[in-house]
Amino acid sequence: MIRRIAIVLLLIATLSPAFGAGKKAQSFLITFHVEGVEEEAPEFASPIKLGNEMRQYYFKKVPEFTDHDIAWFYPFVSQDGQTFGAAFKLTPNAAQQLKGLCLTHQGKLLGVRIANAPYSAVLIDRPVDDGIIVVWQGLAKSHLKAFEKRFPHSDQTEKPLVKERQLDPTSIYRPE
């Protein structure tokens, strides 16, 4: 009897990895990650070099927000005139989570990972009440086309765009 139970358990242990083998990994177009610390790497944080001096930062591997948390986006030409930027409005639930994240992680960076774009980050310096996160530059037309396929444009929403908060590129933080 014990031998049969052992054989069944061995069979279950052998086959259990096969149940997850056919699942496709979920890929996101955009993810937002809060800054971590070096001690969390490599299990929970990834090292990322940012800024002109390529300073080392660590961002948590598990994203705070993903594609599923974006309600709409608003593209614009960046201040450098060569690339684009975009404002992302989060869903109401994600906007509340962002406000809480801003209260608990002030002084840290919020990293933005966009497929095939340079990693960027913004400083969490105050609570964000409107649920809008802005990527100020570094996006190509291909990124905007991918966003159009995945998210509605702000013009397609019932409420007017970013009139509630004027986008100001001078208020950004770029790690040096």
Which residue from 87, 92, 102 is spatially nearest to 69, judged by alpha carbons? 92
What is the mean predicted confidence (pLDDT) over 82-87?
93
| Distance, CA of 29 to CA of 45 (rounded, Å) | 19
Q: Which residue has the higher pLDDT, 130 or 22?
A: 130
Q: C-alpha distances in angstroms, 1 versus 4, 5, 136, 168?
A: 5, 6, 67, 73
| Distance, CA of 82 to CA of 123 (rounded, Å) | 23
What is the mean predicted confidence (pLDDT) over 156-162?
60
The fraction of the chain above a pLDDT of 90, given in percent, is 57
pLDDT beyond 80 at 135: yes
pLDDT score of 87:
94
What is the mean predicted confidence (pLDDT) over 61-89?
93
Q: Are 45 and 59 in contact (CB under 8 A)?
A: yes
Q: Which residue has the higher pLDDT, 27 or 48?
A: 48
Domains of the chain: 23-171 (3.30.1360.200)
pLDDT score of 168:
56
Instruction: Categorize the per-residue pLDDT at 7 as very low, low, confident or very high, splitting at 50, 70 and 90.
Output: low
For residue range 87-126, what is the model confidence (pLDDT) as tens digits?
999 999 999 999 999 999 999 999 999 988 889 999 999 9
